[in-house]
Amino acid sequence: MMKPQVLVCLGSTAAESLLGRDLSVTGRRGQLIDSPLAPFVVATLHPSSILRADEEARHLQMQAVVNDLKMVAALARKAEAA
């Protein structure tokens, strides 16, 4: 059985399926989420939602996802070093 060190949920469907229907990706985006599934769990926007947003929102959402993925990369390095 695989035991991931870092789990990233892209969008509400993934987050709700794995973490429960009460999880709001918008409200918890980019934050560490307590879960028995992995030591580090993060939910962020699904890339398709960025494509559907208007131009101004698209830029902000893209930057938010990039920042979230940078955090995930740092968490993966931390997990690998442990």
Q: What is the pLDDT of residues 8-67, one digit of tens each?
A: 999 999 999 999 999 999 899 999 999 999 999 999 999 999 999 999 999 999 999 999
List of domains in the chain: 6-81 (3.40.470.10)
Residue type (1 letter), 71: M
CA-CA distance, 82 to 12, in Å (whole number)?
30
Predicted TM-score (pTM) of the model is 0.89
Token pair recorded at residue 45: 């926007």
Residue 82 has pLDDT above 90, yes or no: no
Nearest-angstrom CA–CA distance, 45 and 56: 16
Q: Among positive and negative, which fits the CA dihedral 72, 77, 80, 82?
A: negative
Per-residue pLDDT band at 2 (split at 50, 70, 90): confident
Could you tell me where the DSSP H helices lie in 1-82?
Answer: 12-19, 25-28, 47-52, 55-81
